[in-house]
A = this chain, B = another copy of it.
Amino acid sequence: MPRKASRKTPAKSPDIRTVAALAKVSIATVSRTINGSPVVSERLAKRVWQAIHELGYLPNTHARTLVSGRSRLFGIIVENITNPFFPELIQSFEEVAVAHGYEILVSSSNSNPAILTTCVRRMLERKVDGVAVMTFGEEEPVLDQLMHRKIPIVLAEFKLQDPHCSTILLDYRSGIHAAVRHLAGLGHRHIAFLAGPHTLHSALTRENDFRAAMKTAGLPIQKNWIVECDHTLKGGVNGFDQLQALATRPTAIVCSNDMTAIGVLRAAFMKGLQVPKDLSVIGLDDIDFAEFTLPPLTTIRLSRADLARAAFEALRQQAEDPSNPHLQREFLVSTSLVMRGSTAPPVAD
């Protein structure tokens, strides 16, 4: 009975030694082959690949990471995965990452500093090669942990004087100016802005760009017409209600993000206002859903794919080629107006 032969050890999954044995080479050669080292002779390489396929061998990334010091893992921290903007961002980030042989670790901070800290800690334990912090302005508390350990980071809209930190600048200006110009061209003079939470850099930037755009367009800014919301649907509803309670009301509303705008659409409908006849609404982000609102939302598009690509590229450069003097530390992602059905000339007043 071939007992000894048939049950060596309880059938572990094949490792580099198994492959080496089958291909009749050393494990070094197997390693070189897998990593595409040019020194291996074709003859041996072929035998190695053959063995690999035969065994269905998959290299153990943990072992690789341990010895090489590189995990090929990038973390991405978003504010809230439940906000449609982020899954689209994650999707694109995953795509580029996988295409380059990286894996990603996703976490939501839910705008909670304590959770954010935990996320970072977890990523540190998993030895990520870099972290994309896509929380748009709530990141300060954790930056230290990351920088301290010299982990590459990429931030949105927040510059940091640190050799390991890159920034993606979002050029809201172009999109917001286009939006205001569009509205002004339609004849609107009374334009409100539903801002995001003032704790977010991005929200502040957007608001400032709106103010600037209004000034450029020669339009008056009414203090009452800039109201701080929270980038949620419900926030948009509330913001709209606040605006409606005013003595003089705007004929158009620019929102700091699409969710807010969708909230406005909804609230306006409930109040019997017709968009765009009675009120023009413009969002920001252009989430997939914006196309399907009623009416379809005119909005300022911020490409998630562009953002994701920039974030990945920033991380990749830092991780793979940190000493390159031409390392790009600032990336720019632009915005643009996409016209749909939620804007029209104001009713004569």
User: Are B118 and A62 in contact, CB atoms less than 8 angstroms apart?
Assistant: no
Quote the shortest CB–CB distance from A171 to chain B (angstroms). 25
Q: Which residues of B lie under 8 Å from residue A149 when comparing CB positions?
A: 13
Residue A348 lies at the interface, judged by CB distance under 8 Å to chain B: no
* Beta-carbon contacts under 8 Å, A76-115 to B: 81-82, 84, 86-88, 90-91, 94, 98, 103-108
Main secondary structure of the interface of A (DSSP, over half): helix
User: Are A62 and B58 in contact, CB atoms less than 8 angstroms apart?
Assistant: no
User: Are B90 and A81 in contact, CB atoms less than 8 angstroms apart?
Assistant: yes
Quote the shortest CB–CB distance from A16 to chain B (angstroms). 13
The residue from B61, B86, B91 contacting A108, defined by CB atoms under 8 A apart = B91
17 CB contacts below 8 A, A to B, read: A58-B124, A58-B125, A59-B125, A60-B125, A60-B127, A62-B62, A62-B66, A81-B90, A81-B91, A82-B87, A84-B87, A90-B106, A94-B107, A98-B118, A234-B292, A266-B292, A289-B289
Given A56-B148, A266-B292, 15 more contacts at CB 8 Å? A59-B125, A60-B66, A63-B66, A81-B90, A82-B84, A82-B288, A84-B84, A86-B87, A94-B106, A103-B105, A103-B122, A233-B292, A262-B292, A270-B294, A289-B289
